[in-house]
Structure 1
Amino acid sequence: MNRLEYTHYTKKEFCAENRIKAYIVNPKKSHNFTRALGKRSKTDKIDARILYQFHKLIDLKDIQVPKVDQQAKALASYLTSYEFALKQRVALSNHLESLRDKELITLIKKI
């Protein structure tokens, strides 16, 4: 789970735990909405105006207390850990390939 997704879950959980109604905006949908308006989202001020315009189009029944799927959250966490371990493995493998000292390679592989 990247940083943005983690923040998203934290806010979603906060709203769920405190029974705060919210509408979770899909980043892709927001991006497409911005493009449809012919705007470029470059500053917080522009982002705020665009989100306000987006908010005016949302049906009130769609604004509700979010539900947190604990299974999806756990799976996302496992996937993040797996991806991290995989990247570390590839980095170590690449590092070992770049080494020239056979003794050093043997020692590192034992670790």
Structure 2
Amino acid sequence: MITFTCKGKGCSPRQWEGSLEILQRGNPCEAELCARGSRFHLIVGKHSYGNYLCIPNWDVGTELSSLTDLFWNEERLRHYGRMKKADACTIVSALKVLAEHGCMN
């Protein structure tokens, strides 16, 4: 279990704790994310044109920039995933942690 700090500009509070459990490494990478009372099953992978994210329990699927691109990925989730800002910030913070832990290697 990985514990990390989520940060969200324009969110109240400005930061909160999240926990991430990597279920499967590789392509795709699967992880379970919990924060602020929400749970997300993340499936993150690479395809011919870039990266993608699927969150089946939230009916979300979208392309991503690099896993560390917080701004672009948050905008993508907010626009196409129709998520609350805090949830999008939580997820992009988790994507960065997954990249730092080599989840897709």
Which TM-score band (shorter chain)?
under 0.3
Structure showing the higher helix proportion among its residues: 1
Q: Which has the higher contact order (CA 8 A, sep 6+)?
A: 1
TM-score by length of 1: 0.23
TM-score by length of 2: 0.24
